[in-house]
Amino acid sequence: MSEQAAAHAVKAIVAGHGSFATGVISAVEAITGRGDRFIAISNAGLCLDDIQRTLTMALDDTRARVIFTDLPAGSCTMAVRRLVRNRPGVVLITGINLSLLLDFAMQDDSDPVAAAHAALERGRASMVAHGA
């Protein structure tokens, strides 16, 4: 793979309920033009084993080392937690938000796992409450 192709290769999988993953990746694309850094996986109509198989194929196809999910106790997260037991070097970040994905998408020079951890901190910091 050329250096330019590697720079634009899928760096992470986003998995979640319904069209969550597609929607949040669409927002990253609209804001940064870097939605191609991600692939979306939906759990719609899938049991836990099917989600795990789908994620395994996505990891194998993309060689991604980062998986983002929507809910800490959701089915996608449970499937990823099963997967990471046998895949050292793959990290799961759950409870994600758009700020986190934007930060991750904009990190070109970082190792994807290190970038995910840095993005996690920025994603957490982006949540604030205003008013009563």
- Is-contact 108 125, C-beta < 8 A? no
Q: Could you tell me how far CA 69 lies from the centroid of its own chain?
A: 6
Question: pTM for the whole thing?
Answer: 0.91
Per-residue pLDDT for 7 more than 70? no
Of the chain, the percentage scoring pLDDT greater than 90 comes to: 89
Ranges of H-type helices in the chain:
3-7, 20-32, 48-62, 75-84, 98-106, 112-125
Q: What is the mean pLDDT of residues 93-99?
A: 97
Note the pLDDT tens digit of each residue in 43-65. Answer: 999 999 999 999 999 999 999 99
Per-residue pLDDT for 132 more than 70? yes
- 28 Cβ contact list (under 8 Å, min separation 6): 34, 35, 37, 38, 98, 101, 102, 105
From residue 72, alpha-carbon distances to 18, 62, 78, 102, 132 in Å are: 16, 23, 8, 20, 27
Beta-ladder partners of 15: 41, 69
